[in-house]
Structure 1
Amino acid sequence: MAAPFAPLADELAALRGRLGGSRPGLSPPVDQMGCYFLAQVGQLLRPGVVLGAARLGPAGITAASRAMAELVHGASLLHDDVVDDADTRRQQPTVYRRWGDRESVLLGDLLLANALDLL
């Protein structure tokens, strides 16, 4: 993790745990794709910025806000991989390559919907 985010390590680790794992109510194939993609989250820079800003500004920026930032970013990556015809992301095959363009776009849409649910 980047040095500026070292004081936030525990909270970002908790977010990583929140993003990972199965989601109740999803069909098994969609859940499998989601677990695969969310297991590859990177440095969590966006949630780290949200968390750092929350510590500097008014109270009220919640864990849900940090998760929302990462879900919206993840959705953009899923959609970008299709547009860019990307083979890999973080040294792993993209969801697009592993499951197809339709599935990758729909998973990105699902992440956006989940992010909106956190509002």
Structure 2
Amino acid sequence: MTDQPDLSGKVTARGDVVVSLTEYRQNRDPVPVMFHRRELDAILRIYGRMVGEGEWKDYAIDQLKDRAVFSVFKRSGEMPLYRIEKNPRLASKQGAYSVLNTHGTILKRGHDLPQVLKVFDKALKLID
């Protein structure tokens, strides 16, 4: 059993298999979707602020075939409070980035991650 995809190709006289490069690329397992460094910087900046305020305690990063998910927890044994998702298939439609709450309701969605993360900004209150 190998990591290589099962491709049918031409067998040479020596027994080697010759496979077209385009056929190989098409049959290869897709690379999982990941957050880029700048995206993670923006997310971890918000995460650090919320940890400092005592609201968030833990996080998890999932890199799936169709999307990347950054989950935020109050306690590590619970359901995530928020999920920040990157889904490239939605980039041309509603936007690749979205923030979901515990129940799966989309709080904000868009094409620009810093704009989507503004959902975590708190409004300043005037205290008399």
Task: Give the TM-score normalised by the residue count of structure 1.
Answer: 0.31
Q: Tell me which structure has the larger Cα radius of gyration.
A: 2
User: Which of the pair has the greater relative contact order for Cα pairs under 8 Å at 6+ separation?
Assistant: 1
Task: Give the TM-score normalised by the residue count of structure 2.
Answer: 0.30
Higher-helix-fraction structure? 1
